């Protein structure tokens, strides 16, 4: 799940601004550029990482974006790493920035959140999500929110209930495919599945008109995360802000109804959803307006249902299609589980899915190779020294997770899909060189739920259908996705 999926390099999405800022490049060169150079020279004794600024204002943005359109999207990082070392400076998207491709430095950045580093995002993100969003939250409030939601998602009661809910959604969706005479666009189908699951977890809304309206407005809202920061009527950002207003009204209505219901219940049982969790623990807070705070963050938590999890599902199918041996091994493992369950007439449990070793290895390898969350952006609150480098106060720093995942020093033949590489390490690996869900205090609280969704989807897919896929390519900009949405033809077993 992982609404921290907003961490996945939203700043990359701002490439459109390049055409606007080139016209003021000369002004940057005369005023800002020289100021940056003086500040760097003054701190030479602190060993600021080597690198280059590139062109005035646009810096090295064009090369940064261009590499994302290739089959090896970390080329930008690799080239500079070979010239300047694992940590280097550059200038992209109008910012002086330090890039880390070093696992130890990345770990330090991820673990020292709040007191040393704070989130650093483009204007459209802050504008659309708001100042009180989880993405920008710091300190005790962020810790409380993270603990509340993480505790709920990891509870035995939730795990038992959500496993059955996900199974029902996946089975119903897969059963509808047999009625489709033409291609199934897998990327679209997985988005339908994951959005329905996530809205159920957050709001307890079932399929129907209300969910359809919610999805329409959400899709309009999320488009604004990938646009120029201009708020004039008719612009993309303006339309998305209007869509958010409509979304807030819909979500607030649900929260108000829930508030009334909770007041009438004397003995509160296990929460029905995330709204219940937040109302019970934050609803009585004097620090904020609960209705606005909760509704805004509920909308933000919908993002993984549109991006991270469906992308992982789609790419897993893509990689398996291209590797028949891995697919056969996955089918064998899941067929064995299905036979056991059919024979015993027992329901599936969370642990049934999570204990499938090769399936979990496939998920690990998909997350490593796809790099859906490819970087974490932070801003230094003070001068930071680590491993001989200085990250100056006020500078943005990019911890490149994808560079670590694709480094030959960490993974042999990193561009090959090889689920067997995880056989010795184990599916539950958590190291400096494998961080698909981020890390530190902002580690995605929904990572186990995300794995469960992908596991259930793969299980029922391979035990229900065989498929053939059209040739399709992975696009890494502005987000990771399939160019043609991965068209497949299905053959029921």
Q: What is the 3-state secondary structure (H, E, C) of the chain?
A: CCHHHHHCCHHHHHHHHHHHHHHHHHHHHHHHHHHHHHHHHHCHHHCCCCECCCECCCECHHHHHHHCCCCCCCHHHHHHHHHHCCEEEEEECCEEEEEECCHHHHHHHHHCECCCEEECCCHHHHHHHCCCCCCCCCHHHHHHHHHHHHHHHHCHHHHHHHHHHHHHHHHHHHHHHHHCCCCEEHHHHHHHHHHHHHHHHHHCCCCCHHHHHHHHHHHHHHHHHCCCCCCCCCCHHHHHHHHHHHHHHHHHHHHHHHHHHHHHCCCCCCCCCHHHHHHHHCCCCCCCCHHHHHHHHHHHCCHHHHCHHHHHHHHHHHHHHCCHHHHHHHHHHHHHHHHHHHHHCCCCCHHHHHCCHHHHHHHHHHHHHHCCCCEEEEEECCCEEECCEEECCCCEEEEEHHHHHCCCCCCCCCCCCCHHHHCCCCCCCCECCECCCCCHHHCCCCHHHHHHHHHHHHHHHHCCEEEEECCCCEECCCCCEECCCCEEEEEEC
Question: How much is the average pLDDT of 182-207?
Answer: 93
For residue 93, what pLDDT band results from cuts at 50, 70 and 90?
Answer: low
pLDDT of 23 strictly over 90: no
Would the pLDDT of 143 be above 90? no
Above 50 in pLDDT, residue 49? yes
Which of 107-121, 232-246, 276-290 has the least mean pLDDT?
Answer: 276-290
227 carries a ligand binding annotation: no
Is-same-fold flag (1-304+373-414; 306-372+415-492)? yes
pLDDT of residue 283: 56
Q: What digits encode the pLDDT tens for the residues 317-359?
A: 999 999 999 999 999 999 999 999 999 999 999 999 999 999 9
- 1-304+373-414 maps to which CATH number? 1.10.630.10
In the prediction, which pLDDT does 95 show?
76
Percent of the chain with pLDDT over 90: 57
306-372+415-492: CATH topology is: Cytochrome p450 (1.10.630)
Q: Where are the domains of the chain?
A: 1-304+373-414, 306-372+415-492
């Amino acid at each position: 799940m992982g609404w921290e999926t907003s961490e996945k390099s939203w700043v990359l999405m701002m490439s459109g601004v390049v055409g606007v800022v080139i016209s003021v490049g000369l002004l940057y060169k005369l005023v800002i550029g020289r100021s940056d150079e003086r500040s760097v020279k003054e701190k030479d004794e602190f060993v600021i990482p080597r690198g280059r600024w590139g062109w005035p204002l646009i810096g090295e943005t064009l090369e940064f974006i261009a590499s994302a359109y290739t089959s090896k999207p970390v080329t930008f990082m690799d080239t500079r790493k070979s010239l300047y070392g694992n940590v280097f400076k550059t200038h992209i998207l109008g910012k002086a920035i330090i890039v880390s491709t070093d696992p130890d430095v990345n770990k330090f950045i991820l673990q020292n959140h709040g007191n040393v580093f704070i989130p650093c995002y483009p204007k459209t993100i802050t504008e659309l999500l708001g100042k009180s969003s989880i993405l920008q939250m710091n300190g005790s409030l962020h810790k409380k929110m993270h603990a509340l939601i993480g505790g709920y998602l990891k509870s035995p009661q939730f795990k038992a209930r959500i496993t059955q809910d996900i199974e029902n959604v996946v089975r119903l969706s897969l059963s509808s495919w047999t009625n489709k005479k033409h291609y199934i666009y897998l990327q679209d189908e997985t988005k339908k599945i994951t959005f329905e699951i996530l809205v159920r977890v957050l709001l307890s809304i079932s399929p129907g008109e209300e969910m359809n309206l919610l999805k329409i407005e959400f899709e309009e809202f999320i488009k604004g995360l990938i646009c120029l920061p201009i708020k004039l009527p008719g612009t993309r950002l303006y339309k998305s802000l209007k869509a958010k207003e409509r979304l807030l009204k819909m979500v607030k209505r649900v929260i108000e109804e829930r508030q009334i219901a909770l007041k009438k219940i004397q003995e509160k049982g296990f929460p029905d959803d995330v709204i219940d969790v937040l109302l019970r623990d934050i609803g009585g807070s004097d620090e904020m307006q609960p209705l606005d705070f909760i509704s805004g963050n509920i909308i933000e938590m919908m993002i993984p249902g549109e991006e991270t999890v469906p992308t992982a599902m789609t790419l897993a199918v893509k990689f398996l299609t291209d590797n028949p041996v891995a697919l056969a091994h996955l089918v064998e493992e899941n067929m064995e589980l299905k036979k056991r369950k059919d024979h015993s007439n027992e329901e599936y449990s969370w642990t049934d899915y999570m204990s499938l070793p090769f399936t979990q290895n496939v998920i690990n390898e998909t997350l490593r190779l796809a790099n859906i969350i490819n970087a974490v952006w932070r801003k230094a609150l003070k001068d930071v020294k680590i491993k001989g480098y200085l990250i100056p106060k006020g500078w943005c720093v990019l911890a490149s997770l994808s560079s670590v995942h694709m480094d030959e020093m960490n993974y042999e033949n990193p561009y090959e899909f090889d689920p067997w590489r995880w056989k010795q390490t184990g599916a539950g690996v958590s190291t400096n060189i494998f961080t698909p869900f981020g890390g530190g205090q902002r580690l995605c609280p929904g990572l186990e739920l995300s794995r469960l969704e992908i596991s259930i989807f793969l299980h029922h897919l391979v035990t229900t259908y065989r498929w053939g896929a059209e040739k399709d390519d992975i696009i890494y900009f502005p987000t990771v996705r399939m160019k043609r949405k991965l068209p497949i033809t299905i053959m029921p077993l």
